[in-house]
Each structure stands twice: as structure tokens, then as C-alpha cells.
A and B are shown apart, each in its own frame.
Chain A
């Protein structure tokens, strides 16, 4: 069937096209511009080809930040996805208790990112923070301003605290969508709780978990505000993630060319990995 032509339709989408052009395409082109030129002033600019890209790729600090970033995303996904599903499974599915639990769970998601950072910055302080003093009281030396491991533990726990609720809410919505007949059938077939999880719940959560993994990967790969507030990227450069590194480069050192090249690479890496994740998960799903 051919839809009836209606040229007015183009007029209706025109505003969106304009907005997208100004918000996405124009800024992106600016970045591309900067990444291939050395710009001294409005009139003086030199085309440098892939020079900035080479410089960025050869930069040890960038390489280390990449490594840190992958480690961080991997840790966060490994903890938050199973934990989020576990939380969703113990939430009451219906009734007023359910609504109450959902609101309580969602609270961390409502806090501004820099406030999250502030909370943990104080909470984890070894001398006055409840978390920091408690850990030290257990006899475990803990100081995120001096010890890289402590800093990592703080940032990972903070992220888990902040974002597991998102995974839990998505999984909860997925669980709610499973028709009761599936649970009845499983009872009739004498299935154990574990079997219900593996043969009914997990397969039915496939789609929402795909979305959760993608969202959490992209978000954690771009993390900036919270570690910046807590550790400022330290101690040393132990928590300097990609975006912190980028800001240091662009704002701190004013290396706009390399920073632009870095931004583009950063963007492409996220795009590439999201695509890979998505394809793999889709294939697993359709097998």
C-alpha cells in the first residue's frame, strides 16, 4: 500500500530538523574543524591533518585513562546488572507496598549528579564521614584522598548506589509485564524458584536488560561529575577517567586541537561499543 502523498508533512517536521541541525550537527562540525587544524586566531589557522589524532593516541595519559575507563565500566556493569535484577525480584509486584518500594528505590536517581558527589565526598571521609570512619573502625585502612584503592572503592560504591535503582526499575517493569499464566504453568510443572528465574523471568527480561546494559555502559563510560567532585581525578591520576582527562586537556592546558581529536575518538569509541553490545545482545536473544 502506498500512503497518500502529503507535502505538508515535511513542513511539520521542519522545526525538528532545524533544532537537530543547531544542537547536534553544527557543534559536531565545530569539533571536527578543531581536530584537523591548528587554530591561533580567527584568521590564522593551519591544516594539520591527522596530527592531533596521532598525538592523542600516543599520549600515555590518554591510554591510561582509557584503561581505567574500561575497568570502571566493566566493574559497574558486573555489579549493577545482577544487583538491580536481584532488587527487582524482591520488590513486591503489586499493591501499595509496591508503589512505596518503587519510590524509595528511585530516590538516588532524583539527586543531582554533583550533589551525589558531595554526599559521598563527605560520607566517605576517613576522619568525619560515617562510611569512612566505620571502615577504618573495622581495622581496614581507608583514605580515598591518599590511597588509590580506597578512591576506586568509593567511586564504584557511589556509582552502584546511584545507578542500580535504574536497573532495578527497568527489571521491575519487565517482571511486571510477565503474564501470571507463566507462573501458574511453572507451579503446575513443579518448577523450583531457580528454574522459574532461569526459564521464565530471565528470558522475559532480555529486552529490558539489553536497554539497561546499553544505558549503563554509555553513562558509566562518560562519567565525569561525581568522581570529579569526590576525588578530582586523584590521588595522582588514579581516578582520572576519560572525560576528566579531556577537560584537563581542553580547559586546563587549552590544547584545543588534541582535545577536539580526543573528543571525536571518545565519541566514536562509545558509538562502536554500544553498537557491538547491541548486536551481541540481539544475537543472543534471537538464538
Chain B
């Protein structure tokens, strides 16, 4: 196993692309470290499937190189790339038994029989499939089928990475938990490099140690689930992660404060001095970071409660500050405001974005 390095990757599905053609990948440089559990997260059309296909070798990139360790595999076909893949819908060899399925990639590579047998049984035991090894694969349920697909990658000792393409789409919600736990165990035990492609935030954040967020053909953030939630590097990440997403206020610096439609926020002098002179500025703050305060509290901005959703463990309160609407999350046990109130933005958790990119917090 080895790390997977992507250098200066650009891709367009146009035949001889020019700058004016649509680029599925604009420019990506990234290293997938050996043994990491990665999620590749983004909405449909963000380029994540293109990226996946480039790693697996189904698509040859228009520009840039891809390395498995020191080996340049840009022009190496899929079958010689040492990757494994679990697809969205279970792909099995229906006429074979489960053992036949697990054995298939090894047999094709001419591995000696005794070694194959030992490996298949080890992996089957890990996946809790030992008892059903000699059953026909076609009669299995979707969770077992996906496990077998994963197993076909795990049996191989030469695999550089196992790619997952939305693997839990066909799994019932109640069973997802079991599969998620199994995936973690498998990762703990074999330490393969796992790349999990999904558009589902929850899947990505639950699965991965490192999440690579793609948006519009670019990687906009690489970080731990906490990073993504607490310090989104791009406004898209702030919107996409969390429910409800981050509040964004368009602001303009004016004197020592930031002015938005419906209010203004006084700034610390050092922060005010460090503001960029151009570019569209936005403030971003999580609904859970907002603090409801009494009217007249120093530093708090006047707001009116427009709507309240009580959701059991917490409530979402929608506030209007003039034409600007923001959502605050009120924790269990705290009073739910109504009518005229005020809200304060703790500077540490109030992030500043210039041209959609994070430039820092207000403290």
C-alpha cells in the first residue's frame, strides 16, 4: 500500500478543451495518505465522480498526473492499478457462491490455492460471513452483498485503495448503523486507504477521519469533521454541513464596524484594521453559536422572532433583523424567546469570508 498523489489535475469531457469549455475538475492537487479513511463529499455535479473515475483509471485526466507511491499510473489501465471498488448498487457474480466471489480476484491473479483459501476465510470471518460462505451470492440481502463487494477488495494484499461510491444507498436505515460500524472495524484492522464518495454530509462525517469537500470542480476544504463544522474554509461548506446550515450576512466595513441590512456589528480595532480592502465580505455564524440576549444588552443586535420550530432536543428560532433573516438554535433548558429580542454574535465563532473564502474570525 502507498499514498495516492494527485498533481495539477484538470479534466474536461470536451474533446480538445479550451478555457471556455466546461471543466469538470478545475485544478486539484491532493495527497491521499496511506491508511487514511477519507470521504470525498460534494453535491451532484461537483466533480467527485470524475475524481473517483480518474483514481480508478476509468477516465484519463486531460491534464496532470496521478501517482500511487512513486509509480506514475496516469496511463495505467484499471486492471493494473491495484484499486478495489464498492459500487452504489451491489455488483456480484450471481452464479458463484460467496466464497467464489471473494476468491475471484485472487484466482484471476494466479495466487496459490492454499493462500487464497486462508485469505478468503480470514476476510469472511472479519465480515461475519463465515457461516454463509457456500451459499449462492444471488440469494443474499443488500447488506451482505455490499459486504461481499468490500470483501473482494479486502482479500487482495496489493490494494492501494478501496473506493466506495455511495455504498449505503440501497441499505435500509436501520441496518446502516451495523455497516458503518463494520467499516470502522475493517479500517481499524486492515488499515487500507479508503475513499468514500458521497453527496450525503452525514455519511461523510460519520465515516471519515478526513473529509475532502468538492464544489464546482474544486477542492474547497480538506479537514476533520470538526474542522468542517467549526471552521468552514468556504461558505459552501458552511451551508452544506450542519442542519440548518451556517447563517451568512453580507457586510460592508464602515468605520470601526461591519454594516449589514438591518444592523451593524462593532469590531475590535485590530480586526477592523486587518480587513481586506476589496472583495465581497460575509459574516458566517452557526445557529448554535448565536446567543439570544435581552434588548439593550451591550454588543447585542436587536432582532424580532419570526418563527419557532420545537424539535425535541432543541428549538430553531428564526430571527429578523430588518430584512435580514437568521436562525438561532436554542438548547434544551434555555428559554425560547418571542417577540422583540436581541442576539449577540460571539466574536470567536463569528467567521469572516472574503469572496466566499474564510479569512478569519472576529477574535
Contact = CB atoms under 8 A, between A and B. Distances in A.
A42 interface: no
B109 interface: yes
Contact of B108 (A181, A191, A200, A203): A191
A9 to B, nearest CB: 37
B172 interface: no
A184 interface: yes
B78 A184 contact: yes
Contact of A189 (B58, B94, B152): B152
Contact of A190 (B95, B96, B108, B149): B108
Contact of A200 (B84, B87, B93, B149): B93
A200 B138 CA distance: 12
A181 B89 contact: yes
B196 to A, nearest CB: 16
A188 B26 CA distance: 27
Given A179-B89, A181-B87, A195-B108, A188 B96 contact: no
Given A184-B56, A187-B79, A192-B108, A203 B84 contact: no
Interface string B105-124: 10011000000000000000
A185 interface: yes
Contact of B85 (A184, A192, A200): A184
A192 B107 CA distance: 11
B31 interface: no
Given A184-B78, A192-B108, A199 B95 contact: yes
A187 B78 contact: yes
A185 B85 contact: yes
Contacts of B85: 184-185, 188
Interface string A167-208: 000000000000101101101111110010001100100000
B83 interface: yes
A286 to B, nearest CB: 9
Given A191-B108, A192-B108, A185 B87 contact: yes
A259 B82 CA distance: 69
Contacts of B91: 179, 181-182, 184-185
B239 interface: no
B96 A199 contact: yes
B104 interface: yes
Contacts of B104: 189, 191, 195, 199
Contacts of A179: 89, 91
Given A199-B93, A199-B96, A190 B56 contact: no
A50 to B, nearest CB: 47
A187 B87 CA distance: 13
Contacts of B56: 184, 188
Contacts of A185: 85, 87, 91, 149, 152
Contact of B109 (A182, A190, A200): A190
Interface of A: 179, 181-182, 184-185, 187-192, 195, 199-200, 203
Given A184-B85, A185-B149, 20 more contacts: A181-B88, A181-B91, A184-B56, A184-B58, A185-B85, A185-B87, A187-B78, A187-B79, A188-B79, A188-B84, A189-B105, A189-B108, A191-B104, A191-B108, A199-B93, A199-B95, A199-B96, A199-B104, A203-B93, A203-B94
Interface of B: 56, 58, 77-79, 83-85, 87-89, 91, 93-96, 104-105, 108-109, 149, 152
Q: Lowest 9 CB-CB distances: which A-B pairs, in order?
A: A190-B108, A189-B105, A185-B91, A181-B87, A187-B78, A199-B93, A187-B79, A203-B95, A181-B91
